[in-house]
Structure formats: C-alpha cells, structure tokens
Amino acid sequence: MLIGLTGRNASGKTTVVEWFSERGFVSESCSDSIRTWLAERGVEATRENLIEGGRELRRQGGGGILAEMLLERLNGRDAVIDSIRTPAEVDALRKREDFVLIEVVADPRIRWARAAARSRPGDPSSEAEFMESEERELEATDHAGQALIATAAMADFKIENDGDLGALGSRLNQIMSDIS
C-alpha cells in the first residue's frame, strides 16, 4: 500500500507519517529528493531553498519528477510519502494501483503555534510571515510551482487534525479500515 500525504505547513503530516511508520510503512518525502539535490550543490536545506529547489527539479524533469524518483526507490514496498505538493506528483503516484492520498488539515492558528514551537530552520519567525509563505504555495503560476489547493482537491480522504493524538489515531484507523 502506498499512502500519500498533502496539507499545509504544520498541519500534522509528520505526525501522520510517524503513525504509519509505527505500523511498518517505509517513510519517504518528496522533499528528500530536493534535500539530496541541494546537498550535492552545497546549498542549505532551508524552507525557501527547498521550495526553489523543487521548482528547479520540476523545470528540469517535469511536474511529477519528485514522485517518480520516490517510486523508483520504493520498488513496490508499503510506504507513506510526505510533502506531496503538486497534481503531477499525485498523477505519478497513482501509477501504483494501491495509492491513496490523504489531506491533513488544521486551523491556521493551530498550525502557526505548531510551527513556532518546532522552530525548524528556515521556518517563518512571525505569524504574518507564516501566512505569507503559505500563500505562495497554494497556487502554481507554472508547472514547476507548488499547488496545494489543486493537490488537496485530488485527495481520497481528508483528516482534520485540530485535536489530540488519540483523535487523530482514531481517524487514521478508520481510513485504514476503509481502504483495507
């Protein structure tokens, strides 16, 4: 089974990845391909560099390149993939018949609080900057850009993640029951 995750920054995708990993799924991210590419060039993997690196890889290899790279590495194994940000990535992953896309959503204020608490390098330092950064990711201006709105519209399931871990686990158990 191949589970894909999409959602806005700090919606809880990493927590969902951990949930699936605890159940034996291999964990991958479309961003891992970008991180490798940046490291080969000696570029720090800040959020802005990841966004621009992804755009450059998509310009070079097409909109689904990050997902295509992951499919090669996975070689049919059960996996959960984080950071799916374009419809072309979804299309590439749907080549596997067992692919399911889940959108993880959470209230913007909750997401800002999570982002501020985790303090990842390159994360915005103010709520206004957080929201501005997100706006740039919602709709692509060309095939190389992120398109979170269009990607979310392709989701098979939507999980609201405003509550506690128990509630999230219950929702994920229900999805697993529905697709098994």
Residue 85 zone, left/alpha/beta (φ > 0; ψ -120 to 50; rest) = alpha
Is the per-residue pLDDT at 171 higher than 90? yes
Mean pLDDT of 95-124: 90
Is the per-residue pLDDT at 118 higher than 90? no
> What are 128-168's pLDDT values in tens digits?
888 888 777 778 777 767 789 999 999 999 999 998 999 99
Cβ(148)–Cβ(138) below 8 Å: yes
Would you state the pLDDT for residue 8?
A: 93
Class of domain 2-175: alpha beta
Would you state the pLDDT for residue 144?
A: 66
Order the strands of the 2-7 sheet from edge to edge: 26-29, 79-82, 2-7, 99-105, 157-160
Domain edges within the chain: 2-175
> What are 4-20's pLDDT values in tens digits?
999 998 999 999 999 99
**Strands, E assignment, the chain:** 2-7, 26-29, 79-82, 99-105, 157-160
> What are 25-82's pLDDT values in tens digits?
999 988 888 998 999 999 999 888 998 998 899 899 998 999 998 898 899 999 999 9
